[in-house]
Amino acid sequence: MSPAGLHLVTDGRLRLDRLLIVVDAAVRAGAAVVQVRGKEASARELTETVVAVSQVVDDRAAVLVNDRLDVALAARHGGARVDGVHLGQDDLDPVVARHLLGRDALIGWTAHRDAHLRALASLPEGTVDYLGVGLVRPTTSKADGPPVLGVGGFGSFALSTELPCIAIGGVRVTDVPDLAAVGAAGVAVVTAVADAPDPGAAAGGFVDALGALR
């Protein structure tokens, strides 16, 4: 399963009915990955959201769970197709996630410092499939986010790893050509799609911009 393309990261502020409309529009437009993120949700609420997202997505995109390996496993146990997880540096060990989710799962890890690359190098080969690297620009979607790298900082980081790097943090559709030119395999967005007047059109803009550069 390839991590390349547009990742829609869901906006935990949205009600479930609106969230599913945004997910459906983004996937219809060609988003490759939907990452379900709900920082305030209980494990049970987040599992219900993952199951509902998985039903809407069907086989049109990969479904990942942000942070919560337990939720990914619970949703799978309930019969939902969950393809993997996106883990941060403070989340469960990706080695444990790989062990529990299996060889075919898609596992992403957040990285934006040299120390993260050293930690990556200490993992068994094949543990992590891609890196989420940001911030590209300031964002209102993550409290206490990491420092802004800008496109140049993202590019330097991407050069120092062989794993595909997904750019995140305030990414706009007009950033895509520059990000792709410095090595982005894809981009992950919350606001640029969820807050757009027409989320499907916004997602389609990203998909077209990424596709035009392949």
Ligand X SMILES: Cc1ncc(COP(=O)(O)OP(=O)(O)O)c(N)n1
CA-atom Rg of the chain in angstroms:
16
What's the rounded Cα separation, in Å, for the pair 49 and 11?
12
Q: Which helix (H) or strand (E) holds 161?
A: none
The reply to whether 188 sits near ligand X by the rule CB under 6 A is yes
> No. of H helices and E strands in the chain?
9, 8
The reply to whether 147 sits near ligand X by the rule CB under 6 A is no
Q: What's the min distance (Å) between Cβ of 99 and ligand X?
A: 19
Exposure b/e, 26-51, CB count within 10 A at least 16 = b: bbebbbbbbbbbbeebeeeebbbbbb
Site for ligand 3NM, residues 154 to 213, rule: CB under 6 A = 168-171, 189-192
Q: Which helix (H) or strand (E) holds 207?
A: helix 199-212
The reply to whether 60 sits near ligand 3NM by the rule CB under 6 A is no
Q: Binding partner of residue 192 among Mg ion, ligand X, ligand 3NM, none, CB under 5 to 8 Å per kind? A: ligand 3NM
What's the rounded Cα separation, in Å, for the pair 214 and 207?
11
In contact, 69 and 96? CB cutoff 8 Å: yes
Check the annotation: does 190 bind a ligand: yes
Angle at 141 between CA 29 and CA 162, to 5 degrees: 70
Judged by beta carbon, residue 40 or residue 104, the one nearer ligand 3NM is: 40
Judged by beta carbon, residue 136 or residue 202, the one nearer ligand X is: 136
Give the binding-site size for ligand 3NM (rule: CB under 6 A): 17
What's the rounded Cα separation, in Å, for the pair 131 and 203?
21
The reply to whether 108 sits near ligand X by the rule CB under 6 A is yes
Q: What's the min distance (Å) between Cβ of 79 and ligand X?
A: 25
Site for ligand X, residues 73 to 102, rule: CB under 6 A = 86, 88, 91
Judged by beta carbon, residue 113 or residue 198, the one nearer ligand X is: 113
Interface ranges with Mg ion (CB under 5 A)? 67, 88
Interface ranges with ligand X (CB under 6 A)? 7, 9, 35, 37, 66-67, 86, 88, 91, 108, 110, 132, 142, 166, 168, 188
Q: Which residues are annotated as a binding site?
A: 35-39, 66-67, 91, 110, 139-142, 170, 190-191
